[in-house]
Structure 1
Amino acid sequence: MLTVNAYAAPSATEPLGPTTIERRDVGPKDVLIEIRYAGVCHSDIHTVRGDWGQITYPQVVGHEIAGIVTEVGSEVTRHAVGDRVGVGCMVNSCRECENCLAGMENYCLAGNTQTYASVDRDGTITQGGYSTHVVVVEDFVLKIPDAIPLDKAAPLLCAGITTYSPLAHWNAGPGKKVAVVGLGGLGHLAVKIAHAMGAEVTVLSRTLSKKDDGLRFGADDYRATSDPDTFADLANTFDLIVNTVSAGIDLDAYLSLLRLDGTLVNVGAPAEPLPLSVFTLFGNRRSFAGSGIGSIAETQKMLDFCAEHSIAPETELIAAEAINEAYERVLKSDVRYRFVIDIATLA
Structure 2
Amino acid sequence: MKTRRRPYSDQRPTDLGGGVWSVPVPIPGNPLGYTLVYAVESPGGIVLIDAGWNHEDAWTALRDGLATVGVNVSDLRGVVVTHYHPDHAGLAGRVREESGGWIAMHQADADLVRLYRELAGDDGRHLQVEMMRKAGAGADAEAMVTADRPIPPAQPDVELQDHDLIDLPGRPLRAIWTPGHTPGHLCLHLEDTDRMFTGDHVLPGITPHIGIYPYDRSDTDPLTDYLASLDRLSVYTTTEALPAHEWTFPDVATRAAEIHQHHEQKLITLEALLTPTPHTIWQIAEKMTWNRPWPDLTPIQRGLAAGEAAAHLRTLESRGKAHRHPNAHFSTTP
Q: TM-score range by the shorter chain?
A: under 0.3
Relative contact order higher in (CA < 8 Å, ≥ 6 apart)? 1
* TM-score normalised according to structure 2 size: 0.23
Structure with the larger helix share: 2
Structure with the larger strand share: 1
* TM-score normalised according to structure 1 size: 0.22
